[in-house]
Chain A
Amino acid sequence: MAEPALSIRGLTKVYGNGFQALKGIDLDVQQGDFFALLGPNGAGKSTTLGVVCSLVQKSEGKVSIFGIDIDKDFAKAKYQLGVVPQEFNFNQFEKVLDIVLAQAGYYGMTRREALPRAEQLLRDLGLWDKRNGNARMLSGGMKRRLMIARALMHRPKLLILDEPTAGVDIELRRSMWEYMRRINQDEGTTIILTTHYLEEAESLCRNIAIINHGEIVRNTSVRELLAELDTETFLLDLAEPVSQPPVIEGFEITQVEPSQLALVIHRGQQLNDVFSVLSEQGMQVVSMRNRANRLEEMFVSMVEAGNNAIDKRAELDKEAQA
């Protein structure tokens, strides 16, 4: 079997103030994968990726990129790696073309080698017309695309995208998804994505790890994770307002607005059963949609379960001390 694109073993990070951001995590991302690393704010996602990109110094553990141990030959490992960080980190006063050409230069690419690549990437990402403009004049979405172009200049085999579509409008987000799919499928680039848009992870990624409080709480395929989903919540819009929600045995129905109901469906239950009862009671459903993204429900329940476990542990510690 080929070496994983990224292999992490026992990764620990303790910051100077004593905060333990990572508690010995293990993670493998296979070559060619489109992998999501999810977790609430402060869970340890950016710290993990920061260690991989050399922006954060690890306390303990081992990280290998395509089998290259970063402690032994980080320079060689970095050639395989492209990074799109969460925050804009280019010189805003430089020209767009200069930014991508300079990045290629840092990887040892001459200007002659880098120019055609820069043109191709900037055209693909809709930035070629802006190439001679200052980066600070770009819109937020364009700045994000500039960071993607910059990260791809040296043709990395592993691309790390830390919330690449944050603050980007829906249309642009979808075009960026298309682009990311293309480089994953056509060019075989392994992609690791962190995002707060769980719809994004569900739509793009094949495998997923959820990190919370510095620990990996799940590491599986998106399909398997969704198969475990026990409940799903639907919002039903009614033709006429109702004074109180209907009571249907075995179903949990609450009223959101006078003419909107929230219906929780458990695995094995049929929507048809609900519709027929509603129809008998003279209620007409005009439209229906998921209350939240399916993965989001799963994610929230896992994070809550993790938080509850930590609260419980803290309580037990307190009792033991008393």
Chain B
Amino acid sequence: MNATQTFVALWTLVLKEIKRFTRIWPQTLLPPSITMAMYFIIFGNLIGSRIGDMDGFSYMDFIVPGLIMMSVITNSYSNVASSFFSNKFQRSVEELMVSPMPNWVILSGFILGGMARGLGVGLIVTLVSLFFTQLTVEHPLLTILVVVLTSALFSLGGFINALLANKFDDISIVPTFILTPLTYLGGVFYSISMLPNFWQGVSMLNPILYMVNVFRYGFLGVSDIPVGWALAAIFGFIIVLFFVALSMLERGKGIRS
């Protein structure tokens, strides 16, 4: 394929993915906005007013970046996991496999589709948060960079999950038993400085803590961890997962007999 054909193929796949999740918007775009509105009302307004300040900011201001990031992570991951697994399940993945599209284009198409949903939901949640607080963004470029990278990283995770999955249950195990606990323990609702030293150390092993903190740093200008180090870690994870996913695709893992 020449460069133009490759671009057309990639764009076709990305558009198809975007069409898919917008066609079923009551399942994909609406629920996270309602759930996050509940978080803002209950944790931000009702309970948050009694908690007081966190790291020098109102509790509402503190949790908004974490909740946006939580939405981006879960939606990026689940979009790619469910879409690619559905393609496997319905065998429509064969449409891609018999085509001359290189594997990196197939992988990138699904990742960009997942990012479109993750970032789209992130934007919706951000707009919803404006009903509850006035957002200030201290470092806009850093904020955008980290949310884009995080979305890419979790889209890659969702892709690998879908390749390995044999049944629909297999694509809900990771989000339920790994992603959700790590997100809740990743400093979305609290600053890790509140924890005893031992648990602070344990928290540092949680990759989501770094993403939430850098994202919060972009909004508020405060972070529990060094920003540069966190960005480097996210970059590193993306590169590793991209090549792991690509290698699995080249070998036909889970899709070729």
A-B interaction? yes
Q: Which residues of A contact B (CB under 8 A)?
A: 15, 50, 53-57, 74-76, 78-79, 81, 83, 85, 87-93, 98, 101-103, 105-110, 150
| Residue of B with least CB distance to A80 | B100
B133 at interface, CB cutoff 8 A: no
Contacts A75-B102, A76-B100, A107-B5 known; A89 to B12 CB distance under 8 Å? no
User: How far, in angstroms, from A15 to B96 measured CA to CA in the complex?
Assistant: 23
User: How far, in angstroms, from A282 to B2 measured CA to CA in the complex?
Assistant: 78
Contact of B5 among A15, A102, A108 (CB under 8 A): A108
User: How far, in angstroms, from A102 to B106 measured CA to CA in the complex?
Assistant: 13
Smallest distance from the beta carbon of B17 to chain A beta carbons, Å? 11
A106 touches B91 (CB 8 A): no
B92 touches A106 (CB 8 A): no
B4 touches A108 (CB 8 A): yes
A55 touches B96 (CB 8 A): no
A105 touches B11 (CB 8 A): yes
A106 touches B9 (CB 8 A): yes
Residues in A with CB closer than 8 Å to B95 are 89-90, 102-103, 106, 150
Residues in A with CB closer than 8 Å to B23 are 93
Main secondary structure of the interface of A (DSSP, over half): loop
Q: Which residues of B contact A (CB under 8 A)?
A: 1-2, 4-6, 8-9, 11-13, 16, 19, 23, 86-87, 90-92, 94-102, 252, 256-257
Question: What are 14 residue pairs bridging A and B, where the CB atoms are less than 8 Å apart in the complex?
Answer: A53-B94, A55-B98, A85-B94, A87-B91, A89-B91, A89-B92, A89-B95, A90-B95, A102-B16, A103-B95, A106-B12, A107-B5, A108-B1, A108-B8
User: How far, in angstroms, from A105 to B106 measured CA to CA in the complex?
Assistant: 12
Contacts A57-B256, A75-B1, A91-B87 known; A108 to B6 CB distance under 8 Å? yes
Contacts A79-B100, A103-B99 known; A55 to B12 CB distance under 8 Å? no
Contact of A57 among B6, B96, B257 (CB under 8 A): B257
A75 touches B100 (CB 8 A): yes
Residues in B with CB closer than 8 Å to A74 are 100
Contacts A57-B252, A105-B11 known; A89 to B90 CB distance under 8 Å? yes
User: How far, in angstroms, from A75 to B104 measured CA to CA in the complex?
Assistant: 13
User: How far, in angstroms, from A103 to B94 measured CA to CA in the complex?
Assistant: 11
A106 touches B256 (CB 8 A): no
A78 touches B99 (CB 8 A): yes
Between B16, B99, B256, B257, the greatest number of chain A beta carbons within 10 A of the residue's beta carbon is seen for B99
Contact of A91 among B11, B90, B101 (CB under 8 A): B90
10 tightest CB-CB pairs across the interface, nearest first? A108-B5, A105-B12, A106-B99, A89-B91, A75-B100, A78-B100, A89-B94, A91-B92, A53-B98, A108-B8
A106 touches B102 (CB 8 A): no
Contact of B257 among A50, A76, A106, A108 (CB under 8 A): A50
Contact of A102 among B1, B12, B91 (CB under 8 A): B12
Smallest distance from the beta carbon of A30 to chain B beta carbons, Å? 22
Smallest distance from the beta carbon of B217 to chain A beta carbons, Å? 40
Smallest distance from the beta carbon of A289 to chain B beta carbons, Å? 40
